[in-house]
Structure formats: structure tokens, C-alpha cells
Amino acid sequence: MRSSWRVFIVIELLLLLWALYQLLGNIPAIIFLTFSVVNLFYVLNKKYKTSFNQFQLVASIIIMVLSLLNSPAVWLMLILAVIYFGLVMREISEVRFFNFAPWNKKQIKMIKTTGRSKRAGKRFKRSWIGSQRLGSDTYEWDDINFSLMIGDTIIDLGNTLLPKEDNVVIIRKVFGRTRILVPTGIGILLEHSSMRGAVHFDQEVYHLNNESLKLYSEDYDDSTRRLKVITNTLFGDLEVIRV
């Protein structure tokens, strides 16, 4: 979340500079904006305010907003802010408040296994904007492969049983943090590329700046169950955590 917040601030500042550049080329907008700012300071600093001063205050704010909205960059700033805070609120709303309830502390989840069946293909669609959590409940394992534009991702492998073979997780993302929870005893091969971000793997932290990274867990060669994680991120951190 901290990484995505820093990226959001940087983009907003760049858009603000673009908005100032656009306003410099729009003389009427500068005149109205300057008039509204001066009038606003005059009203706010006045000790005794009349009803006309209240009208001045409201009119100055309206003129200021309309002058700023004359720039397309300001509209982009507002749209990006709405999208970002909408994703943040969605992630907060998805927190499971009853995870620490007394009746869940000793809960046992059983995974039913079946014999090998005939393989069949499938087609499905994932959202490319928004935070996602995969593996909140018990599920049957299937290789993961998806792309995401903006958002944080949590993949919990503690609620599934990995087959005794190579298992694959492929994630392509532009902005956002990725967290993968892997049970102890599973060998991990990590291949990660990032323009800017940090990698947390086996209690080590690697900071990447337009770099690629390939790491193996210490038990990779001796493990009967292996996980291959391939991730590509433009901006964002990656965490591989043992559970």
C-alpha cells in the first residue's frame, strides 16, 4: 500500500505541473483564477462579514473551481484520485472482521482429493483494475495466470493442496503490491522483473531499479512440491511469505 501511495502522489504532482503549464497558456483562466483568489483572501481576512461578503465567498470558490476545471490535466487528476481511493476503500471493505473470532481459532478445514481426471480447458475473465485476494477459502489448485492494471493482489496458497509437480503463478501488473503466501515445505523459484520496487523473499529484501531477479529457496531441489512464480511489475513491491 505504501508503494502504491507513493506512485499515486508522484503521478498527481506530474499532472499538477501539466495543469499549471496549461493555465499559463490560457490568459482568461489566469485572470479569473487570480481575481477569485484575491477576492477569497479579502473576504476571509475581513473581521466583520456582511451578507454580500458571504456571496463573495461562494462566488470566488465557484469561479476558482471553474477556472481550474478548464484544464484537462485537472480532470485527469480528479479521475485518478477517484479510481485510487475507490480501490483503497474496496480493499478496506474486504477485510474479514471475524477472522479472529473465538469459533474460528480452532477451525479445521479439510481438503478433499480425487483421482486424476481428464483434463479440460476453460475460459474465464478477471478484472484488470482493483485489489484481489485469491484463496480466502478452501479451493482446488489450478495454475494462476493473469494481468492487472492497477491494484494490490494477495494469493494465499495455505487453503489449497499443491500437486506433486511443478506449479506456476504468472502475474503481470502495472501498479500495485503483490503478496504470495506459500506454505512451508514447498520449493520456490522466483523470477521477477520491475521498473521500480522491492522484493521480499526468504527474509531478504532486494530493491530493483529496472532490473530482473531470479531466486531459489533453500529447499527447492529437495522438495516434492514446487512453485514457480513469474511476475512482471512496472511499479510495486512483491512479497513471498512463508506461512
- Is the domain of 133 the same as that of 203? yes
**Rounded distance between C-alpha atoms, residue 166 and residue 168, angstroms:** 7
- The pLDDT score that the predictor gives to residue 84 is 75
- Kindly state whether residue 104 falls inside one of the protein's structural domains: no
Question: pLDDT (tens digit, 9 = 90+) per residue, 166-190?
Answer: 899 999 988 888 999 998 888 999 9
Q: Are 127 and 147 in contact (CB under 8 A)?
A: no
- Is 117 a residue whose pLDDT tops 60? no
Question: pLDDT (tens digit, 9 = 90+) per residue, 70-116?
Answer: 788 888 888 888 887 776 655 555 444 444 445 444 445 455 555 55
How many domains does one find in the chain? 2
Last residue of a domain, one of 93, 120, 137: 93
Report which DSSP code applies to 129: B
Q: Are 189 and 203 in contact (CB under 8 A)?
A: no
- Kindly state whether residue 71 falls inside one of the protein's structural domains: yes
Q: Which of 18-32, 108-122, 135-149 has the lowest mean pLDDT?
A: 108-122
- Using alpha carbons, list the distances in angstroms from residue 227 to 20, 53, 217, 232: 49, 68, 10, 16
Burial of 190 (0-12, 13-18, 19+ CB in 10 A): buried
Average pLDDT score over residue span 190-215 = 90
- The pLDDT score that the predictor gives to residue 112 is 53
- Is the domain of 148 the same as that of 82? no
45: containing domain: 2-93
Question: pLDDT (tens digit, 9 = 90+) per residue, 21-62?
Answer: 888 878 887 888 888 888 888 888 877 777 787 888 888 888
